[in-house]
Chains A and B, each alone.
Chain A
Amino acid sequence: MKQKTKTGWPDVLITIGTIFIIIITLYPVIYVVSMSFSSAEHIMAKDVYLLPKGFSLKAYAMTLQNETVVRSFVNTLWYTAVGTLMSVTLTATTAYPLARRQFFLRKQLSFLMTLTMFVSGGLIPLYVLVQKLHLYNTRWSIILPYIISAYNLIITRSFFESLPEEMADATKIDGGSEWTIMTRIFIPLSKPIISVLVLFYGVGYWNSYFAPLIFLSNEKLHPIQLYLRGILITSESTGMGMDAVLMSEQMKYAVIVVACFPIMVLYPFIQKYFEKGVLIGAVK
């Protein structure tokens, strides 16, 4: 979208404000990355402020040599890809009927589904259920128990509701089924919300550590976040032997970079679907 406008003082203010925001939000990331490339004594002294001090790749060597890291990384990719695909699909198909004003269970189901955001039976019954369904120690235990988030469901529903109803009605008159309306009209118009869902679910699966912690005892199936958490928490707790703490202190930042980098770079790719005109272009 190109528009010719003058650059006035509001633009100057906006630019300055934005630069400030970029600086304060980019800082922790730069800090973590710099720490991961610094040598042990500077990590301990925490005197790295901007650039790495005493450049060292030891932390990465320790991290990447570890076959557990590589294996968990691959597991995480699997959970994220499969989980996101399933969750986005299921969320969209569940939200669609809830967005149709004619649907007679619309209100009741919306209420019951939203309620699950606020009320739950607790961890123990859920764990028992996962065991009883024989999902325990399978890859599905990471995906199925949390496959739809009520929050995402509600925002998707509300996006669908904002789409012009007339088009659906027109299709209906032409003899199109609800399935056709959903797949031919609603879904193609929903790129922004689907991008949001991909991002939310993708990041959710990528960062998920609680489900794997509780539902997977087989280490071969563990995702990278469990490993990362192990390192992070070990460095916080005190057992006997402070040098174990030092060790994990050193690995901490490298593992964070390794574990977060791929998902951090996801955003710019999804961003393009947020650009103006996508929706309208599709309608016309």
Chain B
Amino acid sequence: MQKKLVTGLLATAMAVSMMAGTVLPAAAEETEGATEAAAEAGAAAGEVTGTVYDLGGLTLPICEPGSVSLTYMGNDTWCAGVSYNDGLPVQQEIEKRTGVHIEWDTYSSDVETVLQTRMASLEGLPDMVEVPPFDSNVGVDTYSSNGVLIPLNDLIEQHAPNIKKLFEKYPALEAMCTSADGNIYALAGWWGDINDYVPDYLYIRQDWLDNLGLEMPNTVDELYNVLKAFKEQDANGNGDANDEIPLATKNGLKQLYYLMTGFGYDTNSLWYTDADGAVHYAAVEPQYKDMLTFLNKCYSEGLISDDLDGTLLTQNITEDKVGIVCHDPADNMASSDDLAMTSNPNCNYQFMPVIQADENGTAQMTKRALTWHYYGITSACENPEAAIQWIDYVYASEDGMMLYNYGVEGLSYERDENGEITFTDLITNNETYTSAFSALRSIGAWPTYFIDDSGEAFMKIFEGTKVETACQAAYGNMKDPFPEMLGTAEESEIYTSMWPDLSTYLDEMFTAFVIGTESLDNFDSYVETANSMGMEEIIRIKGDQYARYQEITAE
């Protein structure tokens, strides 16, 4: 993997340097210098030349520097108090290289409300937008059928060589960007790469297991015994045998469906396909009842936290109380360690292996979702060519990916003569932003727009930590998640009218079965009610969508 990274870097360096007019320089640094010199020379001469790069067919700058200005509307950085509006280094560098100025119309709260108001009124539309609502993909259908989002097919074909390459590399991405009418109206934020590495499962206090002389649990029975031991004994060794919370969730009890692998499923995904390619929803199947029965038993014995919505999770972790955490994704394990270490320096969270029904189980973890939000160009954009080229650069080009994942050379990272990357002190020793992730985000890297997270970069950030070890172990051992496809108009209509009520019902019943307010004897009538609320209809839609997915990816 390390090797792959280096090759990638070299390829980038070469592409950059060739177009900058230097002939195969030994170090990329030289290229940097050359480009800067060229830019300065251009500026001094009073003419706008910039540096001309060619990245896989994309020519930079996209326009005469400063001649094109585009607005982007969506989420602001995920770094508290830092905004793209502040002129962050990465975005400045992108502007320098592409020549395109971006007006950031970004928000860190109530983003969907603002976005939907603007999109629904056709007033003050931005050029590029993160398509609301975020939690479902119906927005792509709504806004494309209303003409707010423009089709991108031709634009990509003619101006976006890197996006085309990305599609070739990941047919799943193309499939998930393609609407039912065959057009592409929006690009999905791509997590397919990073989620090859990043496990999303429960993590457990290895030091607690050691304290109590227990083995890492592999099966349901072993898990139960561990939970029981955590509950009954003084696992954290503070002299109080009653302050341990054996298992706690961050995003509601329903997240505990992760344990379904212990009950006859070969992976933890509610939506799945069987060997014949038929689509199923686990929560209304008989085996699911076994898991609910198990969880109900655990809950009634106090083995699962009663903080149902996870509000108190971080503080309980900090107070050295939580044995097993169900909280996506991997890097939270490191943060949890940091938290708990303030009260117990021996704290050591480790990923748990996937829980099996018995010793011979072969169930695997499901990867996290492949996509995250959609991004499109609106009908108000006067220069869609420039926009798609800019997107091509930030979303898909290797040069753009370097800025995206590592920030600005010299500022956030250095490269040695072998092309090996090391982060600077700004990233590894930042006083304000203690994790490398936040430090990178504070300079504009790991952005929230046109997401295309790199797994290698993620590994680099966590190099030498147990997160890296966990990721390496997970790599290649996870199943692909069920694809989230864009629906037809009819599908979206059915989905939006049925799914909100149905999912409320499913959540409610899951919780009721587990905490015991609803008897598990009523499981059958629960399934019946779910069906009467449209469960079968939704399964049929998902089936049609899955068929389309296979069709597109098979091409």
Contacts and interface: CB of A to CB of B under 8 A. Distances in A.
B68 interface: no
A248 B80 contact: yes
Interface in B87-143: 105, 107-110, 113-114, 117-118, 120-121, 123-124
Interface in A202-229: 213-214, 217, 219, 226-227, 229
Given A47-B319, A217-B124, A233-B109, A241 B81 contact: no
A108 interface: no
Given A44-B315, A128-B123, A248-B81, A240 B329 contact: yes
Nearest to A45: B318
Contacts of A219: 83, 85
Contacts of A214: 113-114, 117
A67 to B, nearest CB: 8
Nearest to A44: B318
Contacts of A46: 315, 318
Chain A interface category by residue count:
35 or more
Contact of A238 (B251, B338, B434): B251
Contact of B121 (A127, A226, A235, A242): A127
Contacts of B335: 241-243, 246
A234 B331 CA distance: 17
Interface in A107-148: 123-125, 127-128, 131-132, 136
Contacts of A123: 117
Contacts of B114: 213-214
Interface string A39-71: 001001111000000000000001100101000
Contacts of B107: 213, 230
B433 interface: yes
A60 to B, nearest CB: 13
Given A124-B117, A251-B80, A213 B110 contact: yes
A128 B79 CA distance: 32
Contacts of B343: 41, 45
Nearest to B191: A240
A217 B109 CA distance: 13
A233 B117 contact: no
A127 B108 contact: no
A256 interface: no
Contact of A247 (B105, B331, B433): B433
A247 B441 CA distance: 12
B109 A234 contact: yes
Question: Among A46, A214, A244, which residue has the most Cβ atoms of chain B within 10 A?
Answer: A244
A202 B98 CA distance: 46
A231 interface: yes
Interface string B301-340: 0000000000000110011000000011101100110110
Given A45-B319, A46-B315, A248-B81, A243 B438 contact: yes
Nearest to A233: B109
A247 B123 contact: no
Contacts of A154: none
Nearest to B329: A240
A251 to B, nearest CB: 6
A239 interface: yes
Given A62-B81, A217-B105, A248-B80, A242 B318 contact: no
Nearest to A63: B81
B526 interface: no
Interface residues of B, number: 46
B496 interface: no
B342 interface: yes
A232 interface: yes
Q: Which of B78, B114, B319 has the most CB of A within 10 A?
A: B78
Contacts of B329: 240
Interface string B258-271: 00000000000000
B123 A131 contact: yes
Nearest to B440: A241
Nearest to A61: B432
Contacts of A234: 78, 80, 108-109
B86 interface: yes
B78 to A, nearest CB: 5
A193 B73 CA distance: 43
A213 B109 CA distance: 9
B492 to A, nearest CB: 20
A233 B108 CA distance: 8
Contacts of A124: 117, 120-121
Contacts of A235: 80
B49 interface: no
A44 B83 contact: no
A197 B336 CA distance: 49
B437 interface: yes
Contacts of B83: 68, 219
Given A62-B81, A213-B107, A230-B108, A244 B441 contact: yes
Contacts of A132: 123
A45 B76 contact: no
A213 B339 contact: no
B108 A241 contact: no
A138 to B, nearest CB: 13
B438 A238 contact: no
B432 A44 contact: no
B81 A66 contact: yes
Contact of B80 (A41, A217, A247): A247
Interface in A140-172: none
A134 B123 CA distance: 11
A238 B250 contact: yes
A207 B339 CA distance: 33
A245 B343 CA distance: 19
Contacts of A44: 314-315, 318, 339, 342
Interface string B60-90: 0000000000000100101111010110000
A219 B107 CA distance: 10
Contacts of A68: 81, 83, 86
A66 B82 CA distance: 9
A243 B123 CA distance: 37
Contacts of A251: 80-81
A28 B174 CA distance: 51
Among the interface residues B80, B328, B434, which one has the most CB atoms of the partner chain A within 10 A? B80
B332 A231 contact: no
Contacts of B318: 41, 44-46
A136 B80 contact: no
B313 to A, nearest CB: 10
B80 A241 contact: no
Nearest to A249: B314
B364 interface: no
Contact of B331 (A128, A231, A242): A242
A229 B109 contact: yes
A132 B250 CA distance: 45
Nearest to A252: B80
Interface in A238-282: 238-249, 251
Interface of A: 41, 44-47, 62-63, 66, 68, 123-125, 127-128, 131-132, 136, 213-214, 217, 219, 226-227, 229-235, 238-249, 251
Given A46-B318, A247-B79, 13 more contacts: A123-B117, A125-B121, A127-B121, A131-B123, A136-B124, A226-B109, A230-B108, A231-B81, A231-B108, A234-B78, A241-B437, A244-B80, A251-B80
11 contacts: A47-B315, A68-B81, A127-B117, A229-B109, A230-B107, A231-B81, A242-B335, A243-B435, A244-B441, A247-B433, A248-B80
For the complex of A and B, the 9 pairs showing the least CB-CB separation, nearest first, are: A248-B80, A230-B108, A233-B109, A41-B342, A243-B435, A242-B335, A131-B123, A45-B318, A46-B315
